[in-house]
A and B are shown apart, each in its own frame.
Chain A
Amino acid sequence: MTATLARARTAAVLAAAAGVVFIAVAPRARSAGPPPWPVTFVDVAERAGLHFPSIYGGLEQKRFIIETNGAGAALFDYDGDGWLDALVLSGTRLGEGTRTELSWPAGQEPTNRLYRNNRDGTFADVTEAAGLRRTGWASSVCAGDYDNDGRLDLFVTYFGHDVLYRNRGDGSFEDATARAGLGSTDARWGSGCAFVDYDRDGRLDLFVARYLSFDLASAPEPGKGANCVWKGIPVNCGPKGLPTDTNLLFHNEGNGAFRDVSAASGVARVAGRYSMTAAAADFDGDAWPDIYVACDSTASILYRNNHDGTFTDTAVLSGVAYGEFGAAQAGMGLATGDYDRDGRIDLLKTHFADDVPALYRNLGGGLFEEASVAAGLGVLNRYVEWGAGMPDLDNDGWADLVYVTGNVYPEIERHLPQYPHRGPRVVFRNLGGGRFEDVTARSGPGATVPHSSRGAAFGDFDNDGDVDLLVMNMNEPPSLLRNDYAGGNGWIEVKLVGSRSNRAGVGATVVATVGGWKQARTVLSQSSYYSHDDLRAHFGLGPASSVDMIEVLWPSGFRQVVKDVAGRRVVTIEEPPEPAGAK
């Protein structure tokens, strides 16, 4: 009953709350209503060859919280051919009525899947050849080139033991966990992760979030505890009432090994949180990478970089810990982008049903204001929201919003049909002036056909200049939502190659100036929900055919400017090497 009453209180608070934020940006110059929405999503996963389901817990009921959270996906170019490949994570399942994992017939064990892009709209399953077959409760993936060999490596977190996969460059990965010093004897629940060069030495360090401490053997059954009932219906217990864990930070020693600096850096000092997705970028504009962590049912964390190898959690002071009125929210996914075109990185954080996503507008100087209701996002609050992005779907120069949905209690919809197990991929179009419009119903079958989704990776898998989505679905094959954009707006995608910075440019901020407007993007190792997006920064140019200026704020601190760049192509910007003797 406690959970039921608490939920009712939440509803009361939301109902009484006043979500108002004035967005001090120039309105979009439009005399009439917005033009037709030219974006149609079509799910091409099956025809593209993305066949395998991601097994994740029970189908009709989730008895334990480990079955509910699902996992992420990645769009990344593992073979360096200029085409995005697809990684989809998987969990496993418990035996009927048991607390032990199901025994699968040999060869049919659920596994993470890597699909190589055939460059013709289809993919080939290369999981075996890549050495990525593994069965377990996978959570999240983050990518980065931690050994600066020009090839993207992977880190995958688990309920169990996390794995570092080093890209050998021959189409395969090796499990480098033990050699890197990242192995552990005790099983923990890894959630978000991010490669981040927090000390700006040119090598990617590793941040790993922990969701909570969970003991399957002693976990209560649904309904058997104060936090095991939702709206009067018995459901799996938690996260409230379950013990929290602390997050980890590992320093890249440069010899293939990492050193645990969780305590020394202050990362482990932040306690009492259910940490989920992590995104590492320069959120306060001081040219040093910070780490933002969406936290479930507790205050979210902003690890602000102190420039000396340590971090301080400034989320509360910065205005990104809570909702607009200071209440903790069930933070799960997050997106970064510049929805108001002021050149600063804003944040979107997704939440549970009966709540709306938080849209944190970056005011500069490390301060944010919550703007979700004022932005028009309050019109939908029935869905549990997960993977999210701020892509410019129609290339008009304004970042739109997308989040995927799916309830964590499949059994609920039998009693409360207004909380469906499967939900849409919600699309909000940016109207300018800080306002968004729900255009889900006009975004094609890929958006409206319901699924219980979790991770979502954003990127241009067919290299046609618009942003597509790869979505992890619970107990289903993934969705590959091809964006069939029907307009004529220009675009550009910026690929970074670091030299003073890490090779992949992870952690960089790219600002494009077009027609006097600035648009900022970050190059992230993880975002959305437990997922990894295309590392190429995509910009819509509207009617323009070129970019006036591209400014790259490299993770090394170096600022690089490139002017008059033609659009409708992928451009590569290489960071100049440090002058001899400069360091």
Chain B
Amino acid sequence: MRALALALLMPLGLAQNTPEASGLLAEARALIDAGKPAAAVEKLRVLDAAADPRVAYLLGVAYYHSGDPARAIEPLAAAAPKLAPGSLERREAVQVLGLAHYLAGHVAESIPFLEQTREAMPDSIELAQTLATAYAQTGQPAKARESWARAFQVAPDSAAGHLLAAQMMIRVGLEEMAEAELKQAVAKDPRLPRAHLLLGQTALFRGRLDEAVALLKAELGVSPGEAMAFHLLGDAYSRQLKWDEAVVALQKSIWINPYFSGPYILLGRAYLKKGDTAAAEGMLRQAVQYDPNNKAAHYLLGQLLQQTGRPDEARKELETAERLPGAGER
């Protein structure tokens, strides 16, 4: 998100050519532009930020670029209303203030400033994405959808608008909100590809396995060649301990897309539970081959080797798994 916020800053242009800027302000501006915001902060500290909004504004911008958005807020909030309306400085102050609030976790506070910025940058998809995420995170799904619809250039109340909003909501961990959007998408277009799949994935995540199976079958009714639907269906069957059904679904997923490691991992697990350790090992080794950085593949292979009495080989795989990044934190 920070990279996105930096990209968002670039189109506004810079204020180093402002005629009324003092030499010191110009130097600070140049330092910020040269990627030396900490040096700019040092230079600006000798000036009175309270007396000159241009100092406060640049100080805020410098703090923001130094990776300290929380500290940027106070000088920017003080400076923005005092800068000339419509000036580049004011636009940048408002923009950076919105982003600083957002990155500091003050999501609701960021929205008015991001909206003001949108008026100046109506075509910025980065801004639309940030604003939409902020709306979603503050419990305003309709406004979030409107903003994402702008970014993706679809009608906000269309089935596609609901689907895209849901997909983005899932990206930021708002599964319940996404589920509501997906249900609206399906109501508007029951044959919309991926809508049932995402609903099925959410049901699977929440442990509603029968519902997940039904939804994933519905997705396959719309998109019969959707490898991910077969993969998730195999996952759901596995959780229901229906190993034979799981193997069939996962094998179909691999036939359609042999380059995705997920079904190999689940097939390895399924064969292990069916007692076919050789087939399980083969599948897990294929998963490792296709996706050498997959922590789960190495970990499960290590566990299988340990359980089948090959501790040295197991240790190697488990050590590899430990070196790889993985999810899981509070």
Contact = CB atoms under 8 A, between A and B. Distances in A.
A20 B262 contact: no
A439 interface: no
Interface string A345-370: 00000011011100000010001010
Contacts of A299: 322
B172 interface: yes
B173 A20 contact: no
A239 B330 CA distance: 8
Given A11-B170, A18-B234, A232 B329 contact: no
B105 A328 contact: no
A391 interface: no
B176 interface: yes
A579 B299 CA distance: 48
Given A13-B327, A415-B138, A326 B299 contact: yes
Contacts of A224: 70, 104-105
A19 B328 contact: no
Interface string A378-417: 1111001000000000000000000000001000000110
Contact of B329 (A328, A363, A367): A328
Contacts of B207: 356, 373, 378-381
Nearest to B236: A18
A61 to B, nearest CB: 13
Given A296-B330, A328-B328, A5 B1 contact: yes
Contacts of B239: 18-20, 373-374, 378
A470 interface: no
A316 B322 contact: yes
Given A1-B2, A369-B303, A16 B262 contact: yes
Interface in B295-330: 295-296, 298-300, 302-303, 306-307, 311, 314-315, 318, 321-322, 326-330
Q: Which residue, of A18, A352, A418, has the highest number of chain B Cβ atoms within 10 A?
A: A18
Contacts of B293: none
A317 B311 contact: yes
Contact of B265 (A18, A329, A367): A18
Interface residues of B, number: 63
A17 B299 CA distance: 13
Contacts of A325: 265, 295-296, 299-300
A: interface residue count bin: 35 or more
B95 interface: no
Contacts of A231: 137, 172-174
Contacts of B137: 4, 231-233, 415
A4 B173 contact: yes
Nearest to B174: A231
B241 interface: yes
Contact of B298 (A326, A329, A355, A378): A326
A21 interface: yes
Given A223-B105, A231-B137, A18 B266 contact: yes
A330 interface: yes
Contact of A363 (B202, B307, B321): B307
A9 B330 contact: no
Given A5-B1, A18-B234, A415-B138, A367 B307 contact: yes
Contacts of A327: 295-296, 326-328
A322 interface: yes
A363 B321 CA distance: 22
B40 to A, nearest CB: 21
Given A325-B296, A326-B295, A15 B202 contact: yes
A459 interface: no
A545 interface: no
B269 interface: yes
B330 A297 contact: yes
A7 B171 CA distance: 9
Nearest to B314: A317
B235 interface: yes
A22 interface: yes
Contacts of A297: 328-330
Interface in B99-125: 103-107
Given A232-B172, A316-B322, A317-B311, A15 B201 contact: yes
A8 B234 contact: no
A16 B227 CA distance: 13
B2 A326 contact: no
B133 interface: yes
A418 B321 CA distance: 33
Contacts of B315: 317
A512 to B, nearest CB: 28
B34 to A, nearest CB: 25
A317 B104 contact: no
B25 interface: no
Interface string A295-327: 011010000000000000000110100110111
B139 interface: yes
Contacts of A408: 330
Contacts of B262: 16
A10 interface: yes
A378 B203 CA distance: 11
Interface in A221-237: 222-224, 228-229, 231-234
Given A4-B137, A354-B173, 20 more contacts: A5-B172, A11-B175, A12-B170, A15-B204, A16-B262, A21-B273, A222-B105, A232-B133, A233-B137, A316-B302, A317-B311, A326-B321, A327-B296, A330-B330, A369-B307, A378-B207, A381-B205, A381-B207, A384-B330, A416-B174
22 contacts: A1-B2, A6-B329, A8-B171, A10-B329, A13-B328, A22-B273, A222-B105, A231-B173, A233-B105, A234-B105, A234-B106, A316-B318, A325-B265, A325-B296, A325-B300, A328-B326, A330-B328, A330-B330, A354-B173, A416-B139, A416-B176, A418-B176
Interface of B: 1-2, 70, 103-107, 133-134, 136-139, 170-176, 201-202, 204-208, 232, 234-235, 238-239, 241, 243, 246, 262, 265-266, 269-270, 273-274, 295-296, 298-300, 302-303, 306-307, 311, 314-315, 318, 321-322, 326-330
Report the 7 A-B pairs with minimum CB-CB distance, sorted nearest first: A326-B299, A223-B105, A232-B137, A234-B105, A330-B330, A1-B1, A327-B328
